[in-house]
Structure 1
Amino acid sequence: MYDQASKHRVAMVCAFDGWNDACHCATDVIHQLVSRYPSTEVAHINRDGYYDYQVSRPIQCNIQGYRRILWPQTTFYDIAVSDTFHILAEMGPEPNYGWIEYCQESLRIAREYEVSHVYTLGSMFADCPHTRPLPMDIMVNGEPVDEEYEHNGPIGIPQVLDASAEEEGYATTSLWVSVPKYLGNNDCALGTAQLLQALSRSMPVNLMTEHLENRAEQWRSHADIILRNTPDLTKYVEQLEREYDMREQARHITKQGSPAVEQLVSDAEEFLRGLPHDFSETK
Structure 2
Amino acid sequence: MISAFEGWNDASQAASEVIHYLISHYESRLVYEINSDGYYDYQSTRPMLCHITGHTRIIWPHTSFYEIQLSPTVQVLAQIAPEPNYHWKDYCAEVLRTAQAFDITHIITLGAMYASCPHTRPLPIDISSATCTCELDREYNGPIGITTVLDQMACKTGAATTSMWVSIPEYMDTDICAQGTLQLMHGLSTLLNTPLDTKDLQSKAEAWKTKAATIAACDDSLSSYVTRLEHEYDLAQHARTVASPGAPQAEQLVKEAEAFLKRMEP
The TM-score with structure 1 as length reference comes to 0.85
2:264 paired residue number: none
Do the aligned partners of residues 269 and 154 (structure 1) sit closer, same or farther apart at CA in structure 2, a change above 3 Å counting? closer
Map 1:56-135 → 2, pairs under 5 A: 56-135=45-124
Do the aligned partners of residues 149 and 214 (structure 1) sit closer, same or farther apart at CA in structure 2, a change above 3 Å counting? farther
The structure that has the greater radius of gyration is 1
1:5 paired residue number: none
Provide Cα deviations, 1:202-260, integer angstroms capped at 9, x if missing partner. 11322222332222122111111111111111001111111111211222222156735
Provide Cα deviations, 1:71-101, integer angstroms capped at 9, x if missing partner. 1001111111123221110001000011111
Please tell me whether residue 166 in structure 1 is matched to residue 155 in structure 2.
Answer: yes
Q: Is this contact kept in 2: 1:76–1:90, CA < 8 A? A: yes
1:223 paired residue number: 212
Match of 2:155, SS? helix
Which AA in structure 2 matches 1:206?
Answer: P
Match of 2:14, SS? helix
Q: Is this contact kept in 1: 2:117–2:168, CA < 8 A? A: yes
Separation (CA, whole Å) in 2 of partners of 1:157 and 1:215: 28
Q: Is this contact kept in 2: 1:137–1:149, CA < 8 A? A: no
Q: CA deviation at 1:265?
A: 4.9
Separation (CA, whole Å) in 2 of partners of 1:38 and 1:268: 49
Q: Is this contact kept in 2: 1:142–1:163, CA < 8 A? A: no
2:129 paired residue number: 140
1:17 paired residue number: 6
Match of 1:164, SS? helix
Separation (CA, whole Å) in 2 of partners of 1:267 and 1:169: 45
Following TM superposition, where does structure 1 have runs of at least 4 consecutive aligned residues deviating by more than 4 angstroms? 264-271
Please tell me whether residue 37 in structure 1 is matched to residue 26 in structure 2.
Answer: yes
Please tell me whether residue 199 in structure 1 is matched to residue 184 in structure 2.
Answer: no
2:263 paired residue number: none
Which AA in structure 2 matches 1:126?
Answer: A
2:203 paired residue number: 214
Do the aligned partners of residues 258 and 103 (structure 1) sit closer, same or farther apart at CA in structure 2, a change above 3 Å counting? same
Which AA in structure 1 matches 2:185?
Answer: L
Provide Cα deviations, 1:7-47, integer angstroms capped at 9, x if missing partner. xxxxx000000000000001000011001111101101111
Separation (CA, whole Å) in 1 of partners of 2:184 and 2:138: 17
**Structure 2: which 5+ residue stretches go unaligned?**
261-266
1:176 paired residue number: 165
Do the aligned partners of residues 170 and 236 (structure 1) sit closer, same or farther apart at CA in structure 2, a change above 3 Å counting? same
Which of 200-209 and 148-157 deviates more? Answer: 148-157
Q: Is this contact kept in 2: 1:193–1:209, CA < 8 A? A: yes
Match of 2:113, SS? strand
Do the aligned partners of residues 242 and 106 (structure 1) sit closer, same or farther apart at CA in structure 2, a change above 3 Å counting? same
1:235 paired residue number: 224
Q: Is this contact kept in 1: 2:111–2:165, CA < 8 A? A: yes
Do the aligned partners of residues 266 and 236 (structure 1) sit closer, same or farther apart at CA in structure 2, a change above 3 Å counting? closer
Which AA in structure 2 matches 1:210?
Answer: K
Separation (CA, whole Å) in 2 of partners of 1:105 and 1:186: 33
Q: Is this contact kept in 1: 2:239–2:253, CA < 8 A? A: no
Count of aligned residue pairs for this structure pair: 257
**Structure 1: which 5+ residue stretches go unaligned?**
1-11, 272-283
Separation (CA, whole Å) in 2 of partners of 1:165 and 1:30: 20
Separation (CA, whole Å) in 1 of partners of 2:227 and 2:107: 38
The sequence identity of aligned pairs, in percent, is: 50
